[in-house]
Amino acid sequence: MISLAALTVDPHNAIVRLVAVDGRRRTGPLSGVPVAVKDLIDVAGVPTRCGSAVLADAAPARADAAVVARLRAAGAVVVAKTHTHEFAYGPTGDVAVEGPCRNPRDPRRITGGSSSGSAATVAAGLVPLAVGTDTGCSARTPAALCGVVGLKPALGALPTTGVFPLSETLDHIGLLGTDVGTVGSAFGALTGRWTDPDAPVAGTVVGRPTDPYWRVHDPEIDAAVDRAADALGAAGAVLRAVRLPGIDELAATYHVIVGAEAHTTHRRWLAQRPEDYQPATAARLRAAAAYTAADYVTAQRTRRRLAAELAARMLAEGIDALLLATTPLRATLIGARQVEAPDGTRVTVAPALLSLTLPFNLLGWPAVSVPAPEVDGLPIGIQVAAVRGGEQTVLAAGARISAG
């Protein structure tokens, strides 16, 4: 039996529409698990509108995206399409035709983006597992701000076929779940590469970046990372201070690459129907039009060179993983574009929410955000990125951090 739920929007705008709920018995490693899917990813029979009026009249998708097909093959049941920052082009989750997505911990605050609804539905207890994307922060930042687990696998580990692109160079599929075990099981079911979150971390060499680039603006976040380091150390990991030379130059390539690729995707729509974009999205796309072909090629060459150099340096120093905060701020108020941070610094929210996560998209390394204990009701995310050992390394370390 298949029942089709009515199209709806929940009060916090996390779910943009409910989709077919398949009542047939399922088999597979995710048998019967309800899953929400970001409205950037095709689900057969349901329009993909990407949070934008540009696609208000989109026809229903003819086929599932590759990752959705894999979910169904593993026995999962897709129950909802979820809110996304418009066309995934933003880290806050409060720019979309449906309005802002609201944080379940405090509805006045952002969820983070762009996989805003995927994080919110998990945090609200509506589903144990959700699928999003991650081009610079889009799974990990909302996971951090909403207090759930967000995994960005290594580049190419999960297929992006059937996903509306932001940046073909940097787009990843992201998985969000209630805990490390749930996310690890989903990753294994989707790839056949099973991980063991209970695997020992003894002997794993974990670097803590010390470059000014990695600055955090909230002492509670710094303290949470220190506690995470203590937990890993108590489990036998070896903690070392590390520097990543060239990190500022590497990070500077991000906006050129993403901006140039996004503008190329949208330039005709932007010229023909600019009023259908949210003003903030249209402004970002127009600004990206200034990048030249030379800018883009130079950025790509710089990215490849520095990524190779940083990987070689970390491997030469024996570093297996990096430990740091996911975001330098906790969830800000909806609509706030600048805030005074707890350390007294005036911070522009959007670039801050991208800063600590985007290097790992440029590098292609897997990274996970796991929640630390909340402070004053606001979640904090701890990030682990793997230099070697892949998703197994980050999930085992994340599980140890979650266990305290």
Q: Do 167 and 135 touch, CB atoms closer than 8 A?
A: yes
Indicate the DSSP class of residue 60.
B
Active site residue 152: no
Q: What is the dihedral of CA 45, 89, 244, 393, to 10 degrees?
A: -20
**Please, is 9 exposed, middle or buried when counting C-beta atoms within 10 Å of its C-beta (0-12, 13-18, 19+)?**
middle
Question: What is the SS3 assignment for 166?
Answer: coil
Task: Tell me phi and psi for residue 314, to 5 degrees.
Answer: -65, -40
Question: What is the SS3 assignment for 9?
Answer: coil
**Please, is 100 exposed, middle or buried when counting C-beta atoms within 10 Å of its C-beta (0-12, 13-18, 19+)?**
buried
- HSE toward the beta carbon, residue 219, CA cutoff 13 A: 3
Q: Do 343 and 217 touch, CB atoms closer than 8 A?
A: yes
End-to-end Cα separation, the chain, in angstroms: 44
Active-site position among 38, 118, 167, 402:
38
Active-site position among 52, 116, 118, 138:
138
Active site residue 369: no
CA distances (Å), origin 28, targets 76, 102, 290: 8, 33, 49
DSSP per position, 259-303:
HHHHHHHHHHHHHH-GGGS-HHHHHHHHHHTT--HHHHHHHHHHH
Active site residue 81: no
Active-site position among 114, 116, 355, 369:
114
Residues annotated as part of the active site: 38, 114, 138
